[in-house]
């Protein structure tokens, strides 16, 4: 088994001096190469030379999803496209996705951090890793894949879906590790009963689950139904993808942040003032080593806390509490990030649709479902059934096109969706995680 990486056991001062050196280099790179960063820093009156201690990080402006949207698709890249070997994308808040890029060195860093996460979860070269994160623009599949290969385990790149085949493969290949979203892990567990495969026919030992929030109850259910140890992994495309933080089996306080590459902060979600360890707030990340898409003080909108106490496993890396909520209205539906504003964007592009809608999310079995209630104009509502069916199909198709998620569309009469007196209540999330 791979021992604990030396970097993960450094005393605070050791890790902080690495962070400072890398931060200084990164800020200089970004200032020199990325105009939007340079302009923001100039406006804030801060130059790369002003970064003399880690505390000076606070002088740098935040980056948000709006910055990514304003510079779509490649405007924040800090390397020429010639040096970019891969791009990934995730949901933006409206029609445009968030695009991120990687140089060959970045892909190497990503494989390293992901391999370290897997090792933290107890994965070794002897493991058969069934990677059920989706392959494609989503960072989950390829990110986990490169990490498992880097570690030297055997990877089964099965991707998401095709549930029955997954279970047969799991049995026949003797998969020992499952990489998937937690909801898909439960889905697999239930489908096992349907195909008549029992736990004693499997060699599954560990599950490494992330990409969406999941409660401790859900963890218990995954562990019981699959007979495994289920661990949490966190990451986001803007920072690198999966591999930003990982729970070790001994931690009772969240996930170890790979601090030599990603510098975490917690800020007050309203004032953005930095908060001390232990306090809940918005998680902010600065990448320390990325070349193509470095990001400075990225406001993730995820709510968490940081713990600085050393873990029982011996690692000194800061830990972040399980992410249970967000400061915005982003939903994660079957692993896909969905913003209500994206749904609105689609609806507003369609004639006869009123600007009143509601998104209802439920969990049936282990699958998330999304119903969209849409008010249509008086005229349309009294039109032929054919017209109504055509309209809901069109909305469904456009949403599928933009978001990659299938939803049920219910067209309703004008004035049936409750009007609110303050903020419209666009989302009713009935999932109890
Ligand atoms: O979900 C990367 C990933 C893939 C992480 C596979 C773990 C495993 P995005 O699609 O950009 O990237 O979505 C990032 O997902 O800001 C959180 O809101 C949420 N998220 C990710 N991991 C967790 C987790 C990938 N363990 C967004 N718990 C983040 C709760 C999570 N939420």
Nearest C-alpha neighbor of 409 from the set 430, 388, 427, 379: 388
Domains of the chain: 1-327 (3.40.50.12780), 331-432 (3.30.300.30)
% residues pLDDT > 90 (the chain) = 80
Q: What pLDDT score does 202 carry?
A: 98
Q: What pLDDT score does 194 carry?
A: 86
Q: What pLDDT score does 183 carry?
A: 87
Q: What pLDDT score does 168 carry?
A: 96
Residue 323: how many CB atoms within 10 A of its CB?
22
- What's the mean pLDDT in 165-175? 97
- What's the mean pLDDT in 58-71? 96
CB 10 within 8 A of CB 316: yes
Element (H, E) at 24: helix 12-33
Ligand 1 pocket test, candidate residues 90, 118, 234, most atoms within 8 A of CB: 234
Longest dimension (CA), the chain: 72
User: What mean pLDDT is reported for the chain?
Assistant: 94
Tell me which DSSP letter residue 288 carries: S
Q: C-alpha dihedral over 119, 124, 130, 132, to 10 degrees?
A: 10
The number of residues in the chain equals 433
Q: How far is the CA of 243 from the centre of ligand 1 (A)?
A: 10
Residue 149: pLDDT over 80: yes
Q: What pLDDT score does 423 carry?
A: 64
CA atoms of 414 and 264, how far apart (whole Å): 47
pLDDT category of residue 106 using cuts at 50, 70 and 90: very high
Is the pLDDT higher at 231 or at 416?
A: 231
**Ligand 1 closest atom vs CA 233:** 26
CA atoms of 282 and 74, how far apart (whole Å): 26
SS3 216: helix
Ligand 1 pocket test, candidate residues 211, 241, 283, most atoms within 8 A of CB: 211
CA atoms of 50 and 58, how far apart (whole Å): 11
Bridge partners of 299, per DSSP, are 284
Q: How far is the CA of 244 from the centre of ligand 1 (A)?
A: 10
Residue 417: pLDDT over 90: no
- What's the mean pLDDT in 128-157? 97
- What's the mean pLDDT in 86-101? 89
Ligand 1 pocket test, candidate residues 131, 210, 244, 282, most atoms within 8 A of CB: 210
Pick the residue whose CA is nearest to atom 29 on ligand 1: 236
- What's the mean pLDDT in 246-272? 96
Residue 365: pLDDT over 90: no
SS3 116: helix
Q: What pLDDT score does 354 carry?
A: 81
Pick the residue whose CA is nearest to atom 18 on ligand 1: 302
Q: What pLDDT score does 95 carry?
A: 72
Q: Is 180 left (phi over 0), alpha (psi -120 to 50) or beta?
A: beta
pLDDT digits (tens, 9 = 90+) for 195-229: 999 999 999 999 999 999 898 988 999 999 999 99
Q: How far is the CA of 112 from the centre of ligand 1 (A)?
A: 18
% residues pLDDT > 70 (the chain) = 98
For the chain, the first-to-last Cα distance in angstroms comes to 34
pLDDT digits (tens, 9 = 90+) for 382-406: 888 999 999 999 999 999 999 889 9
- What's the mean pLDDT in 147-174? 96
Beta carbon of 337 within 6 Å of any ligand 1 atom: yes
Beta carbon of 242 within 6 Å of any ligand 1 atom: yes
pLDDT digits (tens, 9 = 90+) for 6-44: 899 999 999 999 999 999 999 999 999 999 999 999 999
Residue 284: pLDDT over 80: yes
pLDDT category of residue 265 using cuts at 50, 70 and 90: very high
Q: What pLDDT score does 2 carry?
A: 55
- What's the mean pLDDT in 247-276? 96
Residue 1: pLDDT over 60: no
Residue 422: pLDDT over 80: no
Q: What pLDDT score does 267 carry?
A: 98
pLDDT digits (tens, 9 = 90+) for 367-379: 899 999 999 988 8
Q: How far is the CA of 399 from the centre of ligand 1 (A)?
A: 21
CA atoms of 178 and 222, how far apart (whole Å): 11
Beta carbon of 118 within 6 Å of any ligand 1 atom: no
Q: 397-406: which pairs have CB atoms within 8 A and are 24 or more residues apart?
A: 398/346, 398/349, 398/350, 399/343, 399/346, 399/372, 402/95, 402/342, 402/345, 402/346, 403/91, 403/336, 403/338, 403/342, 403/343, 404/336, 405/333, 405/334, 405/336, 405/338, 405/370, 406/370
């Amino acid at each position: 088994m791979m021992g604990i990486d030396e970097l993960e056991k450094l005393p605070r001062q050791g890790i902080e001096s690495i962070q400072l050196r890398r931060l200084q280099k990164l800020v200089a790179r970004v200032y020199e190469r990325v105009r939007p960063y340079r302009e923001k820093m100039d406006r804030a009156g801060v130059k790369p030379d002003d970064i003399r201690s880690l505390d000076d990080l606070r002088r740098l402006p935040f980056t948000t999803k709006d910055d990514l949207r304003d510079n779509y698709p490649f405007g924040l890249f800090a390397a020429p496209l010639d040096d970019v070997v891969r791009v990934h994308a995730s949901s933006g808040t409206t029609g445009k996705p968030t695009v991120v890029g990687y140089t060959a060195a970045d892909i190497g860093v990503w494989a390293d951090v992901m391999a370290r996460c897997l090792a933290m979860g107890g994965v070794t070269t002897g493991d058969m890793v069934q990677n059920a994160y989706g392959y494609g623009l989503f960072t989950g599949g390829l990110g986990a894949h490169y990490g498992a290969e880097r570690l030297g385990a055997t990877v089964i790149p099965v991707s998401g879906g095709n549930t029955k085949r997954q279970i047969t493969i799991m049995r026949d290949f003797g998969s020992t590790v499952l990489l998937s979203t937690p909801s898909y892990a439960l889905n697999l567990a239930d489908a096992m009963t349907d195909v008549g495969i029992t736990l004693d026919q499997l060699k599954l030992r560990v599950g490494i689950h992330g990409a969406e929030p999941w409660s401790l109850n859900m963890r218990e259910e995954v562990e019981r139904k699959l007979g495994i140890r289920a661990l949490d992994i966190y990451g986001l495309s803007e920072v690198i993808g999966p591999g930003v933080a990982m729970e070790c089996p001994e931690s009772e306080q969240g996930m170890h942040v790979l601090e030599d590459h990603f510098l975490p902060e917690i800020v007050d979600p309203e004032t953005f003032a930095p908060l001390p360890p232990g306090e809940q707030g918005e998680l902010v990340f600065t990448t320390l080593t990325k070349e193509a898409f470095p990001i400075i003080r990225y406001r993730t909108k995820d709510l968490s806390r940081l713990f600085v106490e050393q873990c029982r496993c011996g690692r000194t890396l800061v830990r972040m509490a399980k992410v249970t909520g967000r400061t915005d209205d982003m939903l994660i539906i079957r692993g896909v990030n969905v913003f209500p504003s994206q749904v609105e964007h689609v609806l507003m592009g369609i004639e006869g649709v009123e600007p009143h809608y509601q998104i209802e999310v439920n969990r049936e079995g282990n699958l998330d479902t999304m119903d969209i209630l849409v008010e249509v104009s008086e005229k349309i509502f009294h039109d032929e059934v054919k017209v109504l069916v055509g309209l809901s199909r069109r909305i469904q198709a456009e949403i599928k096109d933009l978001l990659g998620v299938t939803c049920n569309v219910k067209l309703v009469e004008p004035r049936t969706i409750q009007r609110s007196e303050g903020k419209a209540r666009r989302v009713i999330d009935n999932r109890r995680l």
